[in-house]
Amino acid sequence: MNRAITFLFLFAVLIGCTTDDQQRPTAEQAKDFLTEYQKIATTEGPVISSAFWISSNFITHDSQVVAADYSKRYTLKGLEEARIAATFDDIELEALDRRALNLIKNGFVMPPPLNEELAGELSIIMTELEAMYGTGQHCFTEDDCYDLEAFENIIDSSRDPNELLKAWSGWREIGKPMKDKYLRMVDIGNQGSKDLGYSGLSDLWFSKYDMPSEDFAIMVDNVYEDIQPLYEALQCHVRAELNQIYGDSVIPLNEPMPAHVLGNMWAQSWSNIFDLVYEEEESTSIDLTNIILEKNLSETEMVEIAENFFLSLGFDKLPETFWQRSLFTKPQDRNVVCHASAWDIDTQNKDLRIKMCIQKNEEDFITIHHELGHIFYYQAYSDLPEIFQSGANDGFHEAVGDLLSLSITPNYLEKINFITPEESAEAKRNGISLLMKQALDGVVGVPWTLMLDKWRMAVFDGKLNDQELNDYWWELREKYQGIQAPIDRPSDAFDPGAKYHIPGNTPYTRYYLARILQYQFHESLCNSIGFDGPLHECSIYGNELAGEKLRSMLSLGQSKPWQEALEAMIDDKELSGKAMLNYYAPLKQWLDQENEGRACGW
């Protein structure tokens, strides 16, 4: 059956025009469809990727028009493919074919239904919500206006609770007009999910995890129970230290902490208040930014150092086109999107790139290692069919990137001649400082990444009425994070809208999985190379055995259930928080000593 006839036949089945049992889809037609899908993906995919690359690196009216057009057509084509894939749901297929069809089906997060009017309405709402966030600002008076960047500058650095409260509450004003649009979007998205054979958006979103959604929810909760004592000890210490600074009127010792004084607009990371909660000894501190500046490293040299990390593990060199086509510095002659990202433009032709406006500082040095984690993941699974060219689940890619950051240890910095053996030994003597810095982001983010999609699933499932949306948001934040709103929230508040991933429809469970998996990966690799010492001192740099084990997992892409990919890495299929506990064991012991006599919990 040729391509045109195949697609016309499948479309007829899709809309219910075919009733003869002998004309129902067959396994052979499923293979034909997957062959055609692969052909289109490999020929059209690179062109679409290039269009988006141009729109991010040459921000003009015309580049945005082209990208928007490609986006619309790519989405419509994807919906057509997803609906055709759904027509094969009830026939027996080879395991890989069934997996490929399921991945095509569940590749959407907010699908429109088979209704042109509703599809158009959904597109408009999604565009409006993104624009409301992206252009959001609040004016207290005509001459006192702030956008997110201005509000964040205050939240990140100010120590004045009144100024912090003004910035925190001001940014949340942008969420109020989003609520009705958000609920309408969810209503249409639920209809679209049902068109694809799912019970609703929750079922669609959690169909990606190779297990029943109910079992998945139980698993992630059980993993958090492993980590909860560590988080609660950290929360107790931070609350007590902030109480010493702000007093009982701002930080009561027997309540959840107010969200505005934690150094982050959403209190999802507390790293900006490190200096308030831990007194660091100057002699043991490694100033990576200063080292980079003293060595007068160029931006390209910073990337070469990160590439060398992977070469030391036995990975192949990056193609020459990576160095020719990536963006490392902010151009002076045009506007670009500076947010760091890794790009798989054309796998067949090894066209891999990163896009960063690199600053010569510690944060970007670590970020470069993270982005190259994505690049080498792309490289490892490049021989697989297009549909399987992704992480084993949506948390794996981020976990691999974050894995490398755990290996930027004093041992690593000594091996690349950034510090002397004496400086390395001195830094390791005060490992609590390093662990505290990491925990204020890595541990603090765990309950946040868990609760956000718990709130969203309750909305998707229709468990909340309009008046309960904001209250439930804060109920979950208090339950999981020990954080509360610093002031009573008005009845029209929609505080979830003040976080991009809600109006932008970016699933958040991936970040929860990534935070757990990176420590499982790290612990397994360190054990495999025979490292004997605290996990936070282990670096896999220079160990080809670790590289071989890492590649065995990366090369699977999304061709196997994530549990099998995890087993290839750690010899176990279970997601667990125990590796994170082992990593932070010295910090937990220190926190328990610091918290003696304190009233912990909330």
| pTM, rounded to two decimals | 0.89
Cβ atoms of 45 and 321 closer than 8 Å: no
Q: How many residues does the chain have?
A: 602
- Does residue 63 lie in a domain region? yes
Domain membership of residue 469 (yes or no) is no
CA atoms of 311 and 493, how far apart (whole Å): 51
Q: Please list the active-site residues.
A: 339-340, 370-371, 374, 398, 501, 511
Q: What is the DSSP letter of 208?
A: G
Q: How far is CA 313 from the centre of its chain?
A: 25
Q: Which helix (H) or strand (E) holds 157?
A: helix 148-157
135 within some domain: no
**Residue 169: both structure tokens together:** 């509450």
CA-based Rg of the chain, rounded to a whole angstrom? 25
Q: What is the pLDDT of residue 528?
A: 95
**Contact indicator for 535, 428 with CB cutoff of 8 Å:** no
How far is CA 192 from each of CA 86, 106, 203, 356, 399, rounded to the nearest angstrom? 13, 12, 12, 36, 31
Which residues 6+ apart lie within 8 Å of 350 measured at CB?
A: 319, 321, 379, 382
Asked whether residue 171 is assigned to any structural domain, the reply reads no
Residue 42's identity, in one-letter code, is T
- What is the DSSP annotation of 491-503? TT--GGGGSTTTT
478's CB contacts (< 8 A; 6+ apart) are 256, 484, 602
Structure tokens at 240: 């007590």
Can you tell me which residue has the tokens 């068109």?
Answer: 195
Give a yes or no: residue 51 inside a domain. yes
Mean pLDDT by 10 residues, the chain (602 residues): 37 41 81 94 91 85 81 80 90 94 90 84 87 87 90 93 97 96 96 90 92 91 96 98 96 96 95 90 74 96 97 96 94 80 90 92 90 95 94 93 91 94 87 91 96 97 94 98 97 94 91 96 96 94 95 95 95 95 97 96 92
387 domain-assigned = no
Tokens encoding 576:
């667990």
Vertex 143: Cα angle to 137 and 147 (nearest 5) = 20
Six-digit token string for 112: 């429109």
Task: Look at the chain and report how many structural domains it folds into.
Answer: 1
Give a yes or no: residue 13 inside a domain. yes
State how far the Cα of 297 lies from the Cα of 302, in Å rounded to an integer.
7
In a domain, 86, yes or no: yes
- 423: phi > 0 → left, psi -120 to 50 → alpha, else beta; which? alpha
Task: Provide the pairing of β-strand 483-484 with 257-258.
Answer: parallel
DSSP string, 384-426: S-GGG-S-SSTTHHHHHHHHHHHT-SHHHHHHTTSS-HHHHHH
Residue 363 to residue 289: CA distance in whole angstroms: 8
Q: What residues make up the domain containing 59?
A: 3-105
How many CA atoms within 13 Å lie on the side-chain side of 497?
29
Q: In whole angstroms, what is the distance from residue 502 CA to residue 469 CA?
A: 13
